[in-house]
A and B are shown apart, each in its own frame.
Chain A
Amino acid sequence: MTQSNVLLRIEGATKSFHLKPMFGAAHEVVALNNITIGIEAGKALAVVGESGSGKSTLGRAVTRLFPLTSGTIRFKGKDIAELTSRAEKLSYLRSVQMVFQDPFSALNPAHTIQHHLERPLMLHRSLHGAALVAAVREVLADVELDPEVTLHKYPHELSGGQRQRVNLARALAVGAELIIADEPTSMLDVSIRRSVLDLMRRMKETRSIAFLYITHDIATAQFIADDIAIMYAGQVVEWGKPERVIGNPQHPYTKLLLSAVPDPNVRLDGGGSKAFAREAEAVRAICRTASGSVLETEPGHFVRQVGSVA
């Protein structure tokens, strides 16, 4: 990756949460363990991996929802922990938009869809009057929602998939440079999913918007991403070009993950469950200890070695 094009650079990012429950012992969860990865302008990095491995935490750290325990995140070379003035922060918030894993949480039930889209357009692009109306219609059309039907509805009057499209429309509306899309398409039916992925790809190619695309759907990651990172237990365990990582997986967790991608012609049966669960457990056991050493197995394809000490 050439240094000049790097839009976002994450260096040694570590985040621990301290849990002090009312009952039981206090414990610590290391959600991110020394993550180093970058995204170039106009490129998409897909992050896939174990549920609970820290993918959303990584996305939230980039949006400055909380400070890192250690490490840095630089956007266009500037450490985002050191943004101080209101103008700097606002500009960062405009440049980096988040589309959440869950379409329900991000919309205010008291406001219409029109209101949800008008606000960012007024705030960040200073649009008013006829230009505002036109822009709202344009972003709705971009995500294939009919403005006539959708504008005056409240979030609860839309289906799950329709709400997620409104969220994408909102990220589009402000003109972001980096969109952190956390499972943006998992609630969409496949035809809309395809059109949203096409849309994201178009945004990337024609408007040079970069994506941090967090997903459990490896086929869609392959469809949109320029680079892919596989996360397990707070670490990136394998990364590189999607065709290499998917075509020639090296890390045991990556192999397990790929073997579990649903195949409609293979029935799930209760009897077989033990075999797969045993295999998964065995892989978890060898991957549990964090690892320090990284091997470049082929040019641009990196794998964290299992069993070595962090």
Chain B
Amino acid sequence: MTSTIQKPLVEVRGLKVDFLTAKGLFTAVKGVDFTIDRGEVLGLAGESGSGKSTIALALMRLHRPPAIISEGSITVDGEDVLAMPESRLRQWRWSSVSMVFQSAMNSLNPVLTIFEQFRDVIVQHTGKTRQQARERAEELLTMIGIAPSRLDDYPHQLSGGMRQRVVLAIALALDPKLIIMDEPTTALDVVVQREILEEIVALKDKFGFAILFITHDLALMGQFADRIAIMLEGRLVEVAPSAQLIANPQHDYTRRLWGSMPLLTRVPA
């Protein structure tokens, strides 16, 4: 084994993201360091507006003006992401790193059928035929629990949760090394959520991809993430293995987060 195997898959150092707004500079991410190992699930939780989605977009260089990465470095699988030329970037996205966007159910193109959206990603990156793409799409859809007969539906004909599952399946389509999931299951019922996440764990064990998992559901985070990072106002205030962060939170904000979570109370008959 070479030493690159030992190195983390993702290395983020001193990442700073600014928004150049009409009213001046707003720094949404204020110098953030973290790593993600191969096959690891890193959870990212924290305040709304603290910069989680901004980090996710920056990792894939999908951030758009007025956002700029003003400082720091991002390395994924030994490649300097910030130095990649556009051509490499286009090829790298989706095949090496894919993303499920927050509010993913609206990231589908409303004028294309579900199959056409799979086809776009699969054919562009793999050179598979339309028929092969169809087979792969059917396989992926079945995996996430939607009847393949719905491949020819348009997004608005599916429920929010079904659309969310479709977006997840598209992110899995090309066996990437890292999948960024920005609240991937918020629109799903807990039964389907559990089935999909267990399926993702099984796929992860099989293919070895890593996950950056953003959610507001702390209980789910504890079940799914290996380590959890807590964000507050553009900074990471605490990073620790899940069990430790749950049992023994160090930062005051982390403690407050756990404290405000409404818990299900079940008084049996």
Contacts and interface: CB of A to CB of B under 8 A. Distances in A.
Contact of B190 (A216, A270, A271): A216
Interface of B: 19, 21, 23, 45-49, 53, 102-103, 105-106, 113, 149, 151-153, 157-162, 165, 183, 186-195, 197-199, 201-206, 216-224, 246, 256-257, 260-269
A52 interface: yes
Given A159-B53, A276-B195, A51 B188 contact: yes
10 contacts: A160-B53, A190-B257, A193-B216, A216-B186, A218-B264, A258-B264, A260-B194, A261-B190, A262-B220, A273-B202
B195 A52 contact: no
A198 to B, nearest CB: 10
A104 B108 CA distance: 13
A273 B201 contact: yes
Interface residues of A, number: 69
Interface in A180-211: 183, 186-194, 197
A265 B159 CA distance: 31
A187 B103 contact: yes
Given A189-B46, A189-B48, A50 B191 contact: yes
A214 B216 CA distance: 18
A101 B21 CA distance: 29
Contacts of B202: 270-271, 273
Contacts of B263: 219
A272 to B, nearest CB: 7
Nearest to A266: B223
A273 B187 CA distance: 20
B189 A24 contact: no
B122 to A, nearest CB: 17
Contacts of B113: 21-22
Contact of B219 (A51, A189, A257, A263): A263
Contacts of B53: 159-160
A157 B21 CA distance: 9
Interface of A: 17, 19, 21-25, 27, 29, 48-52, 56, 101-105, 152, 157-162, 183, 186-194, 197, 216-220, 222-223, 243, 246-248, 256-258, 260-273, 276-277, 280
Contacts of A190: 216, 218, 257, 260-262
Given A192-B48, A270-B202, A270-B205, A264 B222 contact: yes
6 A-B pairs closest in CB distance: A161-B48, A51-B161, A264-B222, A273-B198, A270-B202, A21-B152
A247 B161 CA distance: 27
A260 B193 contact: yes
Contacts of B260: 190-191, 193-194
Given A29-B157, A189-B216, A273-B201, 7 more contacts: A160-B103, A160-B183, A161-B216, A187-B183, A217-B262, A246-B266, A273-B199
Contact of A219 (B151, B186, B264): B264
Contacts of B265: 222, 246
A277 B145 CA distance: 10
Contacts of B203: 270
Contacts of A162: 48-49
B153 to A, nearest CB: 6
Contact of A17 (B157, B246, B262): B157
A19 B201 contact: no
Contacts of A161: 48-49, 216
A187 B102 contact: yes
Contacts of B199: 273, 277
A191 B47 CA distance: 8
Contact of B187 (A23, A51, A218): A51
B187 A186 contact: yes
A280 B198 CA distance: 13
A23 B189 contact: no
A191 B204 contact: no
A24 B149 contact: yes
A222 B113 CA distance: 38
Given A256-B191, A260-B191, A264-B246, A52 B159 contact: yes
A103 to B, nearest CB: 7
Contact of B198 (A21, A193, A248, A270): A270
Contact of A277 (B21, B183, B198, B222): B198
Nearest to B115: A23
Given A51-B187, A192-B48, A276 B198 contact: yes
A257 B189 contact: yes
Contacts of B246: 264-265
Contacts of A197: 262
Nearest to A258: B266
Contacts of A29: 157
Contacts of B223: 262-264, 266-268
Contacts of B217: 262
B117 to A, nearest CB: 14
A102 B106 CA distance: 9
Contacts of B153: 19, 21
